[in-house]
Structure 1
Amino acid sequence: MDYEPLQLEFYEKSSLELAKQLIGKLLLKQTEQGVAGGFIVETEAYAGPMDRAAHSYNNRRTARTEVMFGPAGHIYTYQMHTHCLVNVVAAGIGEPQAVLIRGVEPHIGLELMRNRRGELKSDRELTNGPGKLCKALGITMADYGHNVTEKPLWIAAGQAYDLIAAGPRIGIPNSGEAKDYPWRFYVPGHPNVSRG
């Protein structure tokens, strides 16, 4: 399998398109401990200024959201509670859109992921959620602003899944009608999807 990073052009599209096309791609992180990675099985699109659930709603430009206003293909990490979450910036400069990666199917560095995640009942719990996958892969807030076409954090071509489903995004109850947009994409029935 080719682990070469995808080119920047791949990310230069709307977050809705990118969220669908990221399904099956291979997310990889290299650290001193080794490489860990998995096939993306769940994403959520955030469509920028008109999307009440997006951090960039109403063109909200802060130190945290700044990377989304720049070129596509860069990493937007943010902290939720005690967890780091990882997003990939989509669209173009001045179009602050991003895709949250919610679940991956472990593929490389399984033992490393297990060590990072500690005592778990099963491997399905390693990466079936956005905070879990960041911990398992070693993705941290220090990855903010990183160009995803370069190591140590990159996305490569992966594998195709037969079916991709769409449904409402998760955990955004206070975002008006935006909470019902079917902008979460996932492989139905996959054990590493955060919710079925």
Structure 2
Amino acid sequence: MDINSAGIAFFRDGTTDQIAQKLLGTTLNYRDATGQLFSGLIVETEAYLGEQDSAAHAFKGRHTAANDPLYGPAGTIYIYSIYGHYLFDVATQEAGVPQGVLIRAIQPIAGLEQMQMNRHQTGYNLTNGPGKVMAAFGIHDLNLNGQLAQQPPLWIDYSHPRQPQTIVASARIGVENQGDWASKPYRFSSGRQSLRF
């Protein structure tokens, strides 16, 4: 099985909320044009269940040029911008089923000093939000939109995950006005202030 096939299998093996939990403890990586490597353990995710989910970008089958990557095969990168902040999402399920997982927070591993310079921030607040993660990596555009998250320059390494001891489920953030699904417990984390692996 080649890397893309293996990645597609990983990102569609289970329901989207199960995949969101399975991503905890995997590693998000980015190698920029200078060769600088940024990476971190994924410690918080949110699941979005597509057409049925009133908080999802594809609710009721909404399909635009902007959210088209969600309709791609499992493992497709979906980057979008909110108020000037760029967020990283990865499609789950088979092509044509627009469900995905938002990567909300990471614990830095590599590139910490450059992340701190990019964000002018240190400590817990450095990468504890989806826009913060992308800003720390120095990603401020949609150039990687639609590519696969199985290989560089922006990829998720799921080969040696560090399984969290506990997973906390809660309501998603920033979707409070999005109907009945807003309060569903589809936000998953490995601990609020620090990793619990």
Structure 2 length normalisation: TM-score?
A: 0.90
Report the residue type matching 1:9 in the other structure: A
Is the Cα–Cα contact under 8 Å of residues 128 and 191 in structure 1 kept in the other structure? no
SS at match of 2:133: helix
For residue 37 of structure 1, what is the aligned residue in structure 2?
39
Deviation at 1:163, TM superposition (A): 0.8
Judge which range, 173-182 or 41-50, deviates more. 173-182
The CA distance in 2 between the partners of 1:161 and 1:138, in whole Å, is 27
Report the residue type matching 2:119 in the other structure: R
Instruction: Count the aligned residue pairs.
Output: 187
Deviation at 1:33, TM superposition (A): 4.9
For residue 187 of structure 1, what is the aligned residue in structure 2?
190
Aligned residues with identical type, % of pairs: 37
For residue 160 of structure 1, what is the aligned residue in structure 2?
163
For residue 81 of structure 1, what is the aligned residue in structure 2?
83
Deviations along 1:117-138, one digit per CA (max 9) or x if unpaired, are 12x2x32111000000001123
Structure 2 unaligned blocks of 5 or more? none
Q: Which structure 1 residue ranges, 4+ long, deviate > 4 Å from structure 2?
A: none
Matched, 1:142 2:132: no
The CA distance in 1 between the partners of 2:192 and 2:84, in whole Å, is 28
Structure 1 unaligned blocks of 5 or more? none
Deviations along 1:94-147, one digit per CA (max 9) or x if unpaired, are 1100100000001111111111112x2x32111000000001123342121111
1:92 to 83, 91, 94: 94
The CA distance in 2 between the partners of 1:39 and 1:188, in whole Å, is 13
The CA distance in 2 between the partners of 1:174 and 1:189, in whole Å, is 24
Structure 1 length normalisation: TM-score?
A: 0.90
Q: Which has the higher contact order (CA 8 A, sep 6+)?
A: 1
Listed as ranges, the matches of 1:98-109 within 5 Å are: 98-109=100-111
Is the Cα–Cα contact under 8 Å of residues 29 and 138 in structure 1 kept in the other structure? no
The CA distance in 1 between the partners of 2:183 and 2:132, in whole Å, is 24
For residue 112 of structure 1, what is the aligned residue in structure 2?
114
For residue 178 of structure 2, what is the aligned residue in structure 1?
175
The CA distance in 2 between the partners of 1:56 and 1:63, in whole Å, is 12
